[in-house]
Structure 1
């Protein structure tokens, strides 16, 4: 982080930084750290340069706008301020005690994050948080891949028509008025070891949408990121998370896999050379769960 930006962060916090610890993980290629301040307080800061990754810079600005209107009761860190210097932006917020939910996932972490998702889904999205359609990626991946059969594996060729049919209409059935985090992953949730509760972080994709969206994303990540007790436990927990939800939740998991698989064929993001391989790996590992879901929804 440039020195001038670090000084601006100190001004935002109202106290000099006396120590810091780098925080690793997540998807964005910028600095992040927990800070110890001269006044005895602590904070968390993450920063991004538009020159390093313009999309990540935009996500940080979106996250700041969401956190600025966040309602009480939502499991999110409090925003102290946003600092902008030259082509850099830094988000300064509360330090959340604990460690990331994974990967790999554990039974306790899945339960804690599921509870956090449920609490979020009870909140009407504040004014200024956009509809989910404006935040979602293109979920027509399977439909597009069906038109590109030369790029498909044998499993995909056998299933792609059913997958495309199962995900049709996602623009309609993802809509709603409730707050949704929209980026539920193991590294976007912090588990407090004292209480066992979870706080969701990285709110740059937050939107107003259907109440089941975050639970569906959790189900997908438990399988895609892996469970400490193995793939069969991950698959069973994903099915349990989707049990009782409308069929659209299962269709959304299928659509997520299609998005990852289709995007894995695209050129690499600037500054993120491994992201496409990560997307492909997630799509591939979800295949057994997708077969279960196709049977459940009868598509």
Structure 2
């Protein structure tokens, strides 16, 4: 691809919380009663938490007994995709080794409609954005340790969804062009629209570079990370998949450009990426940006705009790094 003027502009991390959260009081009484039975105490307070884009409840709850927990819940009737993700996350969380820096699943509720996960409460916060270098280094170290703990994958692939990667080929075919989605892509990135066939070719040859035996988080961004004084925790695991151990760290590094950092020197020194064939990193960036920008360009008026804005920002960040590398 020829070097061109900078059309894939840098930006900032948009609001990192979805716009369709609900309060504890909005959850049906029978459901909250069921959750309280599992908690072993009455909930006397609940505070919705920042980070993530799933619909439904995501709250820290305080208990009459003096303890606390983190609870997230969704209805199959009103948010079927989220409820399905919750059920998958229950299965994954139950199988994560204790050495993985993830909150422990304490219990789960499922009445056929409402699905809820009850996690241990982590007294942490989201990483500062823009990234602070010391916090980024802590997270990158934790991700390295996490990859080692999750290779080979402790979770059967049959319980997992496929990787959320790829989209350029779908955009390049006649249906994508005729639907007008490519026109929307052009508004997001004229550069990508002009190089659509080349991006599709990169994506279609990416499979060998993505193959591996590591259980990957699949959604590793700042809004799915909690920092305590001593530890790093990775939360929200419904999109886990099995692949090459470097994939999560590449997508995380792509996002640091939204903090004004150049991801390339970090990748050149990081233990999971410094010895890779350049094509292995390019494959992740191509398929990652294609997934995010295809979804964003296809989003209708009913879509959560916070989520769409985040997809655009992260997709363009990956695309910018890929373009610079090429």
- TM superposition score normalised by structure 1: 0.84
Q: CA deviation at 1:87?
A: 1.3
- Please point out which of 253, 264, 269 is paired with 1:219: 253
Pairing 1:275–2:307 present: yes
Comparing 41-50 with 98-107, which one deviates more in the overlay? 98-107
Comparing 233-242 with 248-257, which one deviates more in the overlay? 233-242
Q: CA deviation at 1:131?
A: 8.2
Deviations 1:256-298 (A, max 9, x none): 111112222224496635433432343334443122222xxxx
CA RMSD of aligned residues (A): 2.5
Pairing 1:106–2:132 present: yes
Pairing of 1:5-44 with structure 2 (within 5 A): 5-44=31-70
Comparing 103-112 with 209-218, which one deviates more in the overlay? 103-112
Pairing 1:90–2:116 present: yes
Instruction: Tell me how many residue pairs correspond in the alignment.
Output: 285
* Pair 1:131–1:28, CA change in 2 (3 A): closer
Pairing of 1:100-249 with structure 2 (within 5 A): 100-122=126-148, 123=150, 124-130=152-158, 134-139=161-166, 141-147=167-173, 148=177, 152=186, 153-192=189-228, 194-195=229-230, 197-223=231-257, 226-227=258-259, 231-233=260-262, 237=266, 242-247=273-278, 248-249=280-281
Higher relative contact order (CA 8 A, sep 6+): 2
Q: Distance in 1 between matches of 2:307 and 2:88?
A: 21
Q: Distance in 1 between matches of 2:317 and 2:156?
A: 36
Moved over 6 A (4+): none
Question: Could you tell me which residue of structure 1 aligns to residue 87 of structure 2?
Answer: 61
Question: Which runs of 5 or more structure 1 residues have no equivalent in the other structure?
Answer: 295-299
Comparing 165-174 with 27-36, which one deviates more in the overlay? 165-174
Q: Distance in 2 between matches of 1:41 and 1:288?
A: 45
